Structure formats: structure tokens, C-alpha cells
């Protein structure tokens, strides 16, 4: 018997991203013992910054983050893929990327920290589409604020710019001043359209905060902020460790063990990189392993007691896969120079299409004018056009100062046929199956994307744009959700409104996998708020037991 | 030697607090970075660079490469250390590249061209296959990339061309909120492409 047989804690958490690490931090601070098992390695920022600078394809968000053989993640958004195998009519639209390493996928995110709208939690009741969540906006509001304080979110004063999600407290930091390019875009939209451009709430410092510096505008939020002015899950890991939580890297959980009644989880089992197996016991368990890996683990844990997988009496584990599908176009503005790429990457949004009565017919969306440094793009474009020498240099300046990129997040709906299963043909180095996902875009989302294309065409016209380059088809926005869907009825959902699995009383899930619908805007703040609510539930049960 | 030549790339290195914190030479020692071995020549040497000078180590092929580079960039001065790294990497991009570069150099020696565009036009007329070699040279000097590898990042000429307006990603040095100010206006250029257009595929994220 190895000494590992003694691995035990009050709460055992699978996954060290924003969700897992923030729960660990809250519990450890309350004196509760915590073990966090992370499949990937412990990593450091500077290594990724070096990797980025040496990367030829600079827009590749996964490029600086190679995976390990024991914790593979998708290398890119290309179909077919070496890890995430997508199929179906819109396979390309579900080629998500994410990271399996300490701190999780927020190593590369743009820090966009949206609260959902109250209507996002009641889509069925209000618009007759999709489902309602098993909680309301007001249930989550205090935890949204807690998440904003944890991450350090800057945002506008609601009296000046109301983003539609009622607030009891102001944002922890003042809104980020937007770039000259964004100012000009905002002016155009205000003067020439019925719409508006708002300050995007961001987990990015507009003053020194939580021991991290003010943003210096390196324009590299994705794939890696070089100075840590933007929050990522790694900071919650550091705080949780300081509070006494134990994090074990390179620990690939492959089995969830239950008691003889199949009502309570008794342990999880993990492989180390050499496939040595270890057992970790606890009173409570939280799977916080990202939408795709969470569903994969539950399915992988199938046995005689639960032949369809753990927490899966409903048959809905792995189903209802959603995302914010994107429409994207890059073009050359015929107006004055904008020089996008001065400052952070995503700072401004057209938010008029986040909600409206038309949601009975088509999905909501929001639009980013991406503030991305276009010098490399301009150089490649000018070379391909045939310029050399001084003429090339003039073109680089012109194209870099006039290139505009627009993209959208378009709302999906939960469809049980959009389904994650375990690959029968591909396995990783430990013998664990890769994830397969079948995906067909809901018509609701297709109609939303068509509306977006119309809007983009209008905007290109208003900016006297040329050289339109539309990203073909529909592309994934890396916000997978729905694979362990929340609901009040155990027959058609996996977790309840507190993210507790219907089947196992001491098993919680903290991930976008519990989303009943996907709203608009980056999902991370909602993931964090739900996770902090799980921590609150666990604290109450453990401290008052 | 134009020893007094002002070199903004060196200034950029010194002016960025972040860059000072991160040792540039150490990054160059990474296996993926192709200027390994030249780091010992020292960053300060970047202040005294000129095409086809003895710093090419007397290698006549490299001197011809530098002369070609100078013509195709319309720049009298280029960093020979970067040139050496680019040349070596471009040679690795295909077995035909050595002969093609030689032919390109012969064409330059055999005529008089008033600028890069005039030379590039004449080259494509003489041998359409040489267009790819010119692309390699442009990609090398302006993007800092050869044969799909990063040879230099911050010192790529695309950042020299735009340095009055914007910083290379991860090397911002304007301080918080510098981005709110108005950057320079840029007039639409009047120059025409010298080469026939090529397909441009945006790389996937």
C-alpha cells in the first residue's frame, strides 16, 4: 500500500481552473481541508511569454501552450483535430480549444467578464425557447459580485452606462478607458446607427489590484498577458495554496467511486504520468474540469452500478453541448487611420442584440470590434499582394492602421442530439479515450448568425471597407457549455440549482457544463459565480454539520 | 561603416521596462530561436550595421544575400546578424533556394534598377519561380520569419515601419492608457504592386 492511500480531504476538487481554484480558496480560508487534482502540469507565465514570442503563427491561442501526453488538449481549432474529434453537419463550429494545466484556460482569455441578463436565466418562460435555469439572476447576483471582486473586474458606472444586469454594488474598478480606435468606432455607431458601443466589463486592472499591476496595453491578453494585469485562474491557485489548499499537478482523474447504494461518492482515482494509480477520499467532491473534460470523466466512470456513467440517470451527461458560435470578418476601412492594437484586446461591444422580443425566433448576440494589433496581418497581406521595398512599407503602415476585425458571440440552444461521447478509436497515453462531439447548429443560432452577417455588411459599408475576408462558415468561440445541464427535474437534467448532481448527494459540478442556456458574452464570470455559490453551499454544510 | 547611424530598434529595447526585465539574450538562446550563436556578438553591435560590410564574415554568398536584401527593401542599411540567420534559414526551406538566390543575385548584378519594385518586376519577368524567393526575403526581413520559424520578433522591420504608432505585442512601453491618444494619420499609398498577387490564407487560431 502506498502512502497515497492516505490522500484525503474534506473536499476533493477535480480541476484547477477558475472554478476549482476559487472554490479551493474559499474553503481553505474557512478552515476546510481541500485537495485539488489537476491533470496537467504546474506552469509559469514567463515560459508562455517566451513561447509566444517565438511562435510564427501569432494568432494561435493554443500555440504557446503545448499539452503533455497524459493531459492532452486540442492543439488548435482545425478539423480534424488530434484530440477533440468533432463530427456532424457543423463539426467545424464545435472545434473548441481549452487548456489542461494548473490555472486552466484563462491563461488565454481576453478578460471579458459579463454578467448574464436576468432574461438569460428564463429563456423558456420569456421567449418559449430552450430551457429555464434552476436559479434566477437574483440568486446569483451576490456571487457575481464576489466573483468580480475575486478577479478584479473593471466596468462602467450603471448610472452612466447600464449593461442590463442589475447591480447591488459598483464594479470593483473603474471602466477601462477605451482606445482611440474604439472611440472612433463608438462615435460611428452612435452617429450612423440606432445602436451603441459600451465599455466591456473586464477582469483587467485599471489600478494596481490584488498584488498585480495596472494594464499596460501589451495587446496580448490572448494568448498570454505578459505582466499579469489580467486575472487568470493561476492567481486563485496561488491564493488557495497560501490558505492551505493542496494542489496536486499531473493527476489525471479517471474514475469516480461511489458507495454500495450509489448515492454518495467515496473517492476519486487518478493516474500519475507513469500510470501509477492513486485513490483520494473525501466528504464532498467537486468536478470542475471544464465542460468537455467534466462530461468525459463522468462517462468514463461508468461501471455496473452506473452503466451510462456517473450522475447520468437522466442520460443527459454529454448532451446539450452549446457554444457562442461566431461570425467574423476582417476588412480594410476606407476612413481615417484607426491603428487598432493599442491597448488591451477586447474592450468595446455593441450590446443591442443581447436581448429583445425577437429571441422567440433567433438567438441573441454581441459584437466586438477587436482591438488587435494588425501589423503582422498587414505585412502578410501586403506581401501577398505583390509589394516590395518602400511600397511594401507604405502598405504595411496603411493596412495596419486601417484593418478592422469584427466578430460576434451568437447564442446556442440546448439540443440533446448535440452530444459528447467517448471516442472508440482514439486514446491518450494513459489509455483514456479522447472526446468525440457531434454538432449541428440549432436553426435558432443560424438565424442569429445571418442577422449578424447583415449587420457586419452594413458596418463595412459605413466604414467604406474593402478587402473583406469572412472567416468561412461558423467558428467556435471556445465557450463550450451544457454537457451536465442544470434543471429542476432529475429526469432531464444532471444537476440542480445549486450545481449538486441529482444522483449523488455529495457530488457537485462547477463548470459551464451546468449552463441551461448560454446567453451572450464570455462565460467565465458566470462560471466563477456559480463556483463561489458551490463553495458557499459546501461551507454551510461542512461548518454547520 | 556608418557608426553613427541611429538605430531605433536598440532604443526600443532600452526603453521598454518589460524588455529590460526580460533578458533578450537569454531568449535568443532558446532552441526555437535561430540567432543562437550570434547573441555573443552583443546587442550593442546593432548600432553599427550596414549591408555587405565585413561583418558578414567575408562570406561572399552572404554578402550577395545582403546586397539583394538591401535592394529589395530599399534600405541601404540592414543588420548583418539578422541577415546571416535569415540566409541560413531560407536555404533550409528548399534544395532549390541556393541556386535561386544565386540567380537572383546575378540578375541584380547584371542590371541597374532604381528601386525594389523595378528589380522585382524584372525578376518575375525573367523567371516567375523567383517570386517565391522574393516572398521569402520580404517575409524574412519584414515579419522576421523564415521557413516557418521565428528568426527575430521585435527586430522585424514591420515594427520599425510602424514604431511611431504601435508596439509589438508584449513590448508596450507607453504606460497605462497610452492607447487613448490619437495615433498618426496615414495617407493611402500610391505605389503599385511589383509582383503578381498570391493567395493569402489567414492562419487559423
3-state secondary structure of A490: coil
**Of B85, B134, B9, whose CA–CA distance to A392 is shortest?**
B134
- What is the nearest CA distance from A113 to chain B, expressed in angstroms? 20
Q: Which residues pair with A350 in a beta bridge?
A: A197, A367
Do A53 and B170 make contact, defined as CB atoms within 8 angstroms?
A: yes
- What is the nearest CA distance from B194 to chain A, expressed in angstroms? 6
Q: What is the mean pLDDT of residues A20-39?
A: 98
Hey, how many other C-beta atoms are within 10 angstroms of the C-beta on A362? 22
Q: What part of A 181-200 touches B (C-beta under 8 Å)?
A: 183
Distance CA A312, CA A306 (A): 8
DSSP at B201: P
What was the pLDDT predicted at A93?
97
Please write the tens of the pLDDT for every residue from B141-168.
Answer: 999 999 999 999 999 999 999 999 999 9
Q: Does A201 sit behind a cis peptide bond, omega within 30 degrees of 0 on the bond before it?
A: no
- Strands (DSSP E) found in B144-195: 145-146, 149-150
The grid coordinates listed for A16 are: 484547477
Is A220 in CB contact (< 8 Å) with chain B?
yes
Model confidence at B198: pLDDT above 50: yes
Mean pLDDT, chain B, whole residue set: 80
Instruction: Name the residue of chain B whose CA is nearest to A396's CA.
Output: B158
Cell 436581448 found at: A355
Q: Which residues of B touch A179 (CB under 8 A)?
A: 179-180
How does residue A312 score in pLDDT terms, banded at 50, 70 and 90?
Answer: very high
DSSP for B21-49, please give it: HS-HHHHHTSTT-TTTTTGGG-GGGGGS-
Mean pLDDT, chain A, whole residue set: 97
Q: What is the mean pLDDT of residues A85-101?
A: 97
Model confidence at A492: pLDDT above 80: yes
**Of A1, A55, A57, A22, whose CA–CA distance to A527 is shortest?**
A22
- What is the nearest CA distance from B45 to chain A, expressed in angstroms? 22
Do A375 and B168 make contact, defined as CB atoms within 8 angstroms?
A: yes
Of A60, A217, A384, the CB nearest to B205: A60
Q: Which region holds residue A482: left if phi is over 0, alpha if psi is between -120 and 50, else beta?
A: left
* A–B CB contacts, 8 A cutoff, strictly below: 214
For the question of residue A479 being annotated catalytic, the response is yes
Q: What is the mean pLDDT of residues B59-79?
A: 97
Please write the tens of the pLDDT for every residue from B98-157.
Answer: 999 999 999 999 999 999 999 999 999 999 999 999 999 999 999 999 999 999 999 999
Angle at alpha carbon of residue A493, lines to A492 and A498, rounded to 5°? 150
- What is the nearest CA distance from A530 to chain B, expressed in angstroms? 29
Residue A325 phi, psi (nearest 5) = -70, 145
What was the pLDDT predicted at A6?
81
Q: What part of A 238-297 touches B (C-beta under 8 Å)?
A: none
Do B204 and A60 make contact, defined as CB atoms within 8 angstroms?
A: yes
What was the pLDDT predicted at B202?
75
How does residue A84 score in pLDDT terms, banded at 50, 70 and 90?
Answer: very high
Q: Which residues contact B145 (CB under 8 A, 6 or more apart)?
A: A56, B139, B151, B156
What was the pLDDT predicted at B39?
37
Among A108, A479, A502, A504, the active-site one is A479
Give the rounded distance of the alpha carbon of A470 from its chain centre.
24
Please write the tens of the pLDDT for every residue from A509-525.
Answer: 999 999 999 999 999 99
Q: Which residues of B touch A398 (CB under 8 A)?
A: 186-189
Q: Which residues contact A417 (CB under 8 A, 6 or more apart)?
A: A319, A438, A440
Please write the tens of the pLDDT for every residue from A315-325.
Answer: 999 999 999 99
Instruction: Name the residue of chain B whose CA is nearest to A471's CA.
Output: B202
Q: What is the mean pLDDT of residues B40-60?
A: 50
Torsion angle in degrees (nearest 10) through CA of B22, B25, B29, B34: 110
Q: Which residues of A touch B169 (CB under 8 A)?
A: 52, 58, 218-220, 341, 373
Do A381 and B138 make contact, defined as CB atoms within 8 angstroms?
A: no
Do B176 and A217 make contact, defined as CB atoms within 8 angstroms?
A: yes
Of A52, A59, A180, the CB nearest to B183: A180
What was the pLDDT predicted at A544?
87
Cβ-in-10-Å burial (0-12, 13-18, 19+) of B31 comes to exposed
Q: Which residues of B touch A206 (CB under 8 A)?
A: 176
Distance CA A516, CA A513 (A): 8
Q: What part of A 224-243 touches B (C-beta under 8 Å)?
A: 224, 226-227
What was the pLDDT predicted at B10?
35
Q: What part of A 328-357 touches B (C-beta under 8 Å)?
A: 330, 336-337, 339, 341-343
Q: What part of A 53-92 touches B (C-beta under 8 Å)?
A: 53-61, 76-78
Do A330 and B191 make contact, defined as CB atoms within 8 angstroms?
A: no
Q: Which residues of A touch B20 (CB under 8 A)?
A: none
Q: Per-residue b/e over A298-320, b at no fewer than 16 CB within 10 Å?
A: bbbbbeeebeebbbbbbebbbbb
Distance CA A48, CA A367 (A): 29
Of B115, B116, B180, the CB nearest to A179: B180
Q: Which residues of B touch A469 (CB under 8 A)?
A: 202
Do B199 and A77 make contact, defined as CB atoms within 8 angstroms?
A: no
Of A76, A77, A391, the CB nearest to B191: A391
What was the pLDDT predicted at A4?
57
How does residue B32 score in pLDDT terms, banded at 50, 70 and 90?
Answer: very low
Q: Per-residue b/e over B145-183, b at no fewer than 16 CB within 10 Å?
A: bbbebbbbbbbbbbbbbbeebbbbbbbbbbebbbbbeeb
Q: Which residues of B touch A466 (CB under 8 A)?
A: none
Instruction: Name the residue of chain B whose CA is nearest to A344's CA.
Output: B179
Q: Does A223 sit behind a cis peptide bond, omega within 30 degrees of 0 on the bond before it?
A: yes
Q: Which residues contact A340 (CB under 8 A, 6 or more apart)?
A: A179, A181, A369, A370, A371, A372, A373, A374, A403, A404, A405
Instruction: Name the residue of chain A whose CA is nearest to B136's CA.
Output: A383
Kind of pairing between the strands at A154-155 and A365-370: unpaired
Q: Which residues contact A216 (CB under 8 A, 6 or more apart)?
A: A227, A229, B18, B172, B174, B175, B176
Decide which of A30 and B46 is more confident. A30
Please write the tens of the pLDDT for every residue from A161-189.
Answer: 999 999 999 999 999 999 999 999 999 99
Do A342 and B168 make contact, defined as CB atoms within 8 angstroms?
A: no
Give the rounded distance of the alpha carbon of A246 from its chain centre.
24
Cell 518602400 found at: A390
What was the pLDDT predicted at B55?
53
Q: What part of A 105-134 touches B (C-beta under 8 Å)?
A: none
Do B161 and A393 make contact, defined as CB atoms within 8 angstroms?
A: yes
Q: Which residues contact A347 (CB under 8 A, 6 or more apart)?
A: A176, A178, A179, A182, A199, A200, A202, A371
Q: What is the mean pLDDT of residues B184-193?
A: 98
Please write the tens of the pLDDT for every residue from A236-268.
Answer: 999 999 999 999 999 999 999 999 999 999 999
Instruction: Name the residue of chain B whose CA is nearest to A332's CA.
Output: B188
Distance CA A182, CA A203 (A): 18
Distances from the Cα of A382 to the Cα of A129, A196, A402, angstroms:
46, 33, 13
Do B165 and A342 make contact, defined as CB atoms within 8 angstroms?
A: yes
Q: Tell me, what's the ipTM?
A: 0.94
Q: Which residues of A touch B167 (CB under 8 A)?
A: 217-219, 342, 373
Distance CA A230, CA B46 (A): 34
Model confidence at A1: pLDDT above 70: no
Please write the tens of the pLDDT for every residue from A220-244.
Answer: 999 999 999 999 999 999 999 999 9
Q: Which residues of B touch A230 (CB under 8 A)?
A: none
Hey, how many other C-beta atoms are within 10 angstroms of the C-beta on A231? 27
Q: Which residues of A touch B166 (CB under 8 A)?
A: 339, 341-342, 373, 375, 400
Amino acid at each position: 500500500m502506498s502512502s497515497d492511500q492516505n490522500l484525503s480531504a474534506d473536499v476533493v476538487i477535480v480541476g484547477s481552473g477558475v472554478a476549482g481554484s476559487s472554490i479551493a480558496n474559499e474553503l481553505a480560508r474557512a478552515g476546510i481541508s481541500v485537495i485539488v487534482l489537476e491533470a496537467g502540469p504546474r506552469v509559469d507565465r514567463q515560459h508562455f511569454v517566451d513561447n509566444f514570442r517565438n511562435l510564427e503563427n501569432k494568432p494561435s491561442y493554443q500555440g504557446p501552450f503545448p499539452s503533455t501526453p497524459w493531459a492532452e488538449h486540442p492543439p488548435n481549432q482545425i478539423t480534424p483535430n488530434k484530440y477533440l474529434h468533432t463530427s456532424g453537419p457543423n463539426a467545424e463550429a464545435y472545434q473548441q480549444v481549452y487548456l489542461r494545466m494548473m490555472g486552466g484556460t484563462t491563461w488565454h482569455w481576453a478578460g471579458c467578464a459579463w454578467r448574464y441578463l436576468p432574461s438569460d436565466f428564463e429563456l423558456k418562460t420569456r421567449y418559449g425557447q430552450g430551457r429555464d435555469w434552476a436559479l434566477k439572476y437574483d440568486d446569483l447576483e451576490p456571487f457575481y459580485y464576489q466573483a468580480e471582486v475575486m478577479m478584479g473586474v473593471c466596468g462602467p458606472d450603471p448610472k452612466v452606462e447600464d449593461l442590463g444586469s442589475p447591480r447591488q454594488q459598483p464594479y470593483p474598478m473603474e471602466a477601462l478607458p477605451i482606445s482611440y480606435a474604439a472611440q472612433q468606432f463608438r462615435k460611428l455607431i452612435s452617429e450612423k446607427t440606432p445602436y451603441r458601443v459600451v465599455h466591456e466589463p473586464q477582469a483587467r486592472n485599471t489600478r494596481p489590484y490584488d498584488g498585480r499591476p495596472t494594464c499596460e496595453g501589451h495587446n496580448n491578453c490572448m494568448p498570454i498577458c505578459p505582466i499579469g494585469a489580467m486575472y487568470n485562474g493561476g492567481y486563485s491557485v496561488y491564493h488557495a495554496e497560501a490558505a492551505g489548499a493542496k494542489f496536486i499537478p499531473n493527476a489525471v482523474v479517471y474514475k469516480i467511486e461511489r458507495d454500495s447504494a450509489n448515492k454518495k461518492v467515496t473517492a476519486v482515482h487518478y493516474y500519475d504520468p507513469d500510470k501509477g494509480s492513486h485513490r483520494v477520499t473525501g466528504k464532498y467532491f467537486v468536478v470542475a474540469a471544464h465542460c468537455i473534460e467534466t462530461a468525459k470523466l463522468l462517462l468514463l466512470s461508468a461501471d455496473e452500478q452506473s452503466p451510462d456513467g456517473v450522475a447520468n440517470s437522466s442520460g443527459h451527461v454529454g448532451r446539450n453541448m452549446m457554444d457562442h458560435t461566431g461570425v467574423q470578418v476582417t476588412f480594410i476601412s476606407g476612413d481615417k487611420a484607426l491603428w487598432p492594437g493599442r491597448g488591451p484586446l477586447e474592450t468595446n461591444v455593441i450590446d443591442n442584440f443581447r436581448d429583445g422580443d425577437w429571441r422567440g425566433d433567433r438567438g441573441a448576440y454581441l459584437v466586438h470590434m477587436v482591438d488587435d494589433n494588425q501589423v503582422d496581418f498587414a505585412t502578410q497581406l501586403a506581401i501577398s499582394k505583390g509589394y516590395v521595398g518602400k511600397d511594401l512599407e507604405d502598405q504595411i503602415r496603411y493596412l495596419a492602421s486601417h484593418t478592422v476585425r469584427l466578430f460576434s458571440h451568437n447564442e446556442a440552444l440546448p439540443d440533446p442530439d448535440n452530444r459528447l461521447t467517448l471516442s472508440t478509436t482514439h486514446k491518450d497515453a494513459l489509455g483514456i479515450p479522447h472526446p468525440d462531439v457531434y454538432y449541428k447548429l440549432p436553426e435558432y443560432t443560424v438565424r442569429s448568425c445571418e442577422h449578424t452577417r447583415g449587420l457586419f455588411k452594413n458596418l463595412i459599408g459605413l466604414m467604406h471597407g474593402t478587402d473583406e475576408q469572412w472567416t468561412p462558415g461558423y467558428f467556435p468561440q471556445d465557450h463550450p457549455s451544457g454537457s451536465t445541464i442544470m434543471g429542476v427535474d432529475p429526469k432531464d437534467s444532471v444537476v440542480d440549482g445549486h450545481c449538486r448532481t441529482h444522483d449523488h448527494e455529495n457530488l457537485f459540478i462547477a463548470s459551464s457544463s451546468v449552463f441551461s442556456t448560454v446567453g451572450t458574452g464570455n462565460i467565465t464570470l458566470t462560471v466563477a459565480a456559480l463556483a463561489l455559490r458551490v463553495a458557499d453551499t459546501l461551507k454551510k454544510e461542512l461548518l454547520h454539520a | 561603416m556608418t557608426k553613427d547611424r541611429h538605430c531605433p530598434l536598440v532604443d526600443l529595447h532600452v526603453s521598454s521596462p518589460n524588455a529590460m526585465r526580460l533578458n533578450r539574450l537569454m531568449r535568443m538562446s532558446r532552441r526555437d530561436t535561430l540567432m543562437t550563436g550570434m547573441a555573443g556578438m552583443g546587442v550593442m553591435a546593432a548600432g553599427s550595421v550596414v549591408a555587405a560590410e565585413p561583418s558578414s564574415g567575408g562570406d561572399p554568398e552572404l554578402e550577395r544575400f545582403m546586397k539583394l536584401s538591401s535592394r529589395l527593401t530599399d534600405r541601404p542599411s540592414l543588420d548583418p546578424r539578422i541577415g546571416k540567420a535569415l540566409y541560413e534559414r531560407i536555404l533550409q526551406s528548399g534544395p532549390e533556394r541556393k541556386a535561386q538566390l544565386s540567380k537572383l543575385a546575378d540578375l541584380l548584378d547584371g542590371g541597374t534598377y532604381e528601386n525594389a519594385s523595378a528589380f522585382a518586376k524584372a525578376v518575375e519577368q525573367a523567371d516567375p519561380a523567383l517570386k517565391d524567393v522574393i516572398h521569402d526575403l520580404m517575409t524574412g526581413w519584414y515579419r522576421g520569419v523564415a521557413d516557418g520559424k521565428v528568426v527575430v520578433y521585435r527586430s522585424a522591420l514591420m515594427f520599425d515601419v510602424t514604431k511611431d504608432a504601435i508596439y509589438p505585442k508584449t513590448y508596450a512601453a507607453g504606460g497605462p492608457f497610452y492607447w487613448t491618444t490619437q495615433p498618426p494619420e496615414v495617407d493611402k499609398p500610391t505605389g503599385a504592386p511589383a509582383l503578381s498577387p498570391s493567395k493569402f490564407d489567414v492562419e487559423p487560431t
